[in-house]
Amino acid sequence: MVKYIFVTGGVSSSLGKGIFAASLAKLLQGRGYSVTIQKFDPYLNVDPGTLNPYEHGECYVTEDGAETDLDLGHYERFLNVPTSQMNNVTTGRIYQTVINQEREGKYLGKTVQVIPHITDEIKRRMRLLSESGKYHIIITEIGGTVGDIESLPFVESVRQLVRELGPYNSLVCHLTLIPFLNSAKELKTKPTQHSVNQMMGYGLKPDLIICRTEHELGEELRNKLSLFCNVDRECVIQAIDKSSIYEVPLEMQKENLDTTVLRKLSLPNAGNSDMSAWEDFMLKLKNPKHEVHIALVGKYVELQDAYKSINESFIHAGAINNCKVIVHSIHSSEITDENVSELLGQMNGVLVAPGFGDRGIEGKITAIKFVRENNIPFFGICLGMQMAVIEYARNVLHYADAHSFEMNKKTTHPVIDMMEEQKTIKKKGGTMRLGAYNCILKEKSKSALAYKTTSISERHRHRYEFNNKYLDVFEKAGMEATGTNPDNGLVEIVEIPKHKYFVGVQFHPELKSTVLTPHPLFVSFIKACIEK
């Protein structure tokens, strides 16, 4: 029988439910259990694919091409197991399913209501992943904060499901904030008490209280929380602020989170915990021998979460190279011919980020020209690769108005063009070229050396592509297509072999980097940056 763990949040948003869920899953995995995590988001968008990164941070793409919440990135980075379409469900998706069924006449004349029809659909989706038979434990993170009107149907569904599953088959972990009042020099438990009361009002009793705090809780406070929140003493778990999210699993282990959870679920302790690979990673992360400065050139730099996976990939690739990676976010629209040398001249490497639309792209092109001419390691991802192609077309091939069809429909040299299959698409949601596609690498290219193979598969999210009409001219002039799709010839990677490290990729390598398997291209890029 599959066991279910639900993770809810109280008091405040942004407490790190995703990191907690991933850390708990990691510990259970370390004890030999097969675990997956899914996230239920209470907003009405069918998926986050149409959301601006300013709204919701990065959009994470799964192998099977689902555009999902960035927490799925944490799940994969921690667990090293891919997620799928099924691991992220929004209110919009739930309502869409129910309304479609209503139109098909499936409800046989009944009044369609939030309870039971919406809650039934939520519960069906919550149990869906168990059908594969692959998992012992399914962790379900409920987005938002308990008490929000929009999370109510999810909390109610969890209440129903906990009853249906019966004793020892499910657990509710409630993550809350224990604020520190500076004036009183005291940690306060009242908001947590209120939040737990609110949950009890919905008929849902938290089994574990996970307390996000800046300071140690202390015995007295733990006892108080246990008493007022009606949980066992060992079920009060301290989640103290840490400088790195990767410290959280080991911190949670010190709190005996894994053993408590297993006991509550009546699951055997399955031998000793094996977190050795994780501990090795932490050791490297904390004791770097080198340091590199990398400019991340993008247009959403004000928001930490917008380039989440890229930043995490730098951490993974840094650790394996014994290197501390210091990322300097630079807004592309600030870069000009006059200041580019001052902004980028001292960097060990430059990454030009993915993106959409024309804001800030000339700054990206200026940055790329500078690093190309000055032999500074360059890594371009998706739009970053496309801009590298445009830069080369303009400044080396002298196509003065070379551009991407996305930004300029009138260019005489559309070196980046809309993909054929995209031309008839009208709807925006879920219609890009999404998910994993194969790619064949040119032998001895920088990419092939990095991957140590010539056959790879990477995840995508784009509508435009390198215009193959120009391939010959580019290759003769020194920019080569070193990775192509074997089925349709689409250019997946461009490189300048003469340059120290100049690699642009149409796909998103950052989506596949995990703690235990850092992405080969990030690893080779950091290596090149160290050498610079």
Residues that bind ligand GLN (CB under 6 A): 354-356, 382-383, 406, 461-464
172 within 8 A of 159, measured Cβ to Cβ:
no
Report CA-CA distances (Å) from 300 to 124, 304, 331: 37, 8, 7
Q: Which is nearer to ligand GLN, 378 or 464 (CB)?
A: 464
Q: Which is nearer to ligand GLN, 135 or 507 (CB)?
A: 507
Distance CA 413, CA 406 (A): 12
For residue 180, what is the enclosing H or E element?
strand 180-181
434 within 8 A of 457, measured Cβ to Cβ:
no
- For the bound state, the minimum distance from the C-beta of residue 44 to ligand GLN, rounded and expressed in Å, comes to 24
Report CA-CA distances (Å) from 119 to 95, 112, 139, 161, 205: 10, 11, 18, 10, 18
- For the bound state, the minimum distance from the C-beta of residue 68 to ligand GLN, rounded and expressed in Å, comes to 15
- For the bound state, the minimum distance from the C-beta of residue 527 to ligand GLN, rounded and expressed in Å, comes to 24
- Hey, is 518 helix, strand or coil? coil
- For the bound state, the minimum distance from the C-beta of residue 411 to ligand GLN, rounded and expressed in Å, comes to 15
Marked catalytic residue, from 56, 316, 462, 508 = 508
Q: Which is nearer to ligand GLN, 461 or 519 (CB)?
A: 461
Marked catalytic residue, from 382, 403, 460, 480 = 382
Q: Which is nearer to ligand GLN, 57 or 144 (CB)?
A: 57
- For the bound state, the minimum distance from the C-beta of residue 263 to ligand GLN, rounded and expressed in Å, comes to 45
Distance CA 332, CA 299 (A): 6
117 belongs to the catalytic site? no
- Hey, is 493 helix, strand or coil? strand
Q: Which is nearer to ligand GLN, 43 or 405 (CB)?
A: 405
Amino acid code (one letter) for 292: V
508 belongs to the catalytic site? yes
Asked whether the CA dihedral 241, 244, 245, 246 is positive or negative, the reply is negative
Marked catalytic residue, from 74, 495, 510, 529 = 510
Q: Which is nearer to ligand GLN, 117 or 459 (CB)?
A: 459
> Which residue blocks in 328-453 are alpha helix, DSSP H?
340-344, 361-373, 383-395, 446-451
- For the bound state, the minimum distance from the C-beta of residue 349 to ligand GLN, rounded and expressed in Å, comes to 19
* Bridge partners (DSSP) listed for residue 294: 327, 349
291 belongs to the catalytic site? no
> Which residue blocks in 31-144 are alpha helix, DSSP H?
53-56, 71-79, 91-103, 119-128
Q: In 10 A of CB 328, how many CB atoms?
A: 15
Q: Which residues are catalytic?
A: 382, 508, 510
